């Protein structure tokens, strides 16, 4: 059974703090790793799709790194703002899996206090 683990489950930070969370996935059979941001009462929104070991991607204050050999990805948020409050999901696509098959973690719920 392929499992994606995310930690921590939830995180409370103050506005201006920088934070990071982890996504762990099986290191064998790696194809791609996705990060999504899901605000309450809205649709999940794609942040990054990462495929290569050592990949680093950045969008504004949010960045992500990927280590496919050890099976983890980090998501970083620099200078958190209240509007960053959301659940951050990662999803793993295994090599040899069905087309477009993403295996999701349970997410990290981030709350940013003003």
Partner 1 sequence: ETGVTQTPRHLVMGMTNKKSLKCEQHLGHNAMYWYKQSAKKPLELMFVYSLEERVENNSVPSRFSPECPNSSHLFLHLHTLQPEDSALYLCASSQLANPYNEQFFGPGTRLTVL
Distance, in Å, from the CA atom of 34 to the CA atom of 102, rounded to the nearest integer, reads 8
98 binds partner 1 per the rule CB under 8 A: yes
Q: Which two tokens stand for residue 9?
A: 């489950």
Q: Say whether residue 100 binds partner 1 (CB under 8 A).
A: yes
Q: How far is the CB of 33 from partner 1 (least distance, A)?
A: 9
Q: Does 73 bind partner 1 (CB under 8 A)?
A: no
Q: What is the DSSP string of 20-81?
A: EEEEE--STTEEEEEEEEE-TTS--EEEEEE-STT-EEEETTEEEEEETTTTEEEEEESS--
Q: If binding is defined by CB under 8 A, does position 63 make contact with partner 1?
A: no
Question: Taking CB under 8 A as the rule, which mask of x and - marks residues 32-51 in contact with partner 1?
Answer: x-x-x----xxxxxx--x-x
Residues near partner 1 (CB under 8 A) are 4, 31-32, 34, 36, 41-46, 49, 51, 89, 91, 93, 97-107
């Amino acid at each position: 059974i392929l499992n994606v683990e995310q930690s921590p489950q939830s995180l409370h930070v103050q506005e201006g703090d920088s934070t990071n969370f982890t996504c762990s996935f099986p290191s064998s059979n790696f194809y791609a790793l996705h990060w999504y941001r899901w605000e309450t009462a809205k649709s999940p929104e794609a942040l990054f799709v990462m495929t290569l070991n050592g990949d680093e991607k950045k969008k504004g204050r949010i960045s992500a790194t990927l280590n496919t050999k050890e099976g983890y990805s980090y998501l970083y948020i620099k200078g958190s703002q209240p509007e960053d409050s959301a659940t951050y999901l990662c999803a793993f696509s295994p090599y040899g899996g069905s087309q477009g098959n993403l295996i999701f973690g349970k997410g990290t719920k981030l709350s940013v206090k003003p």
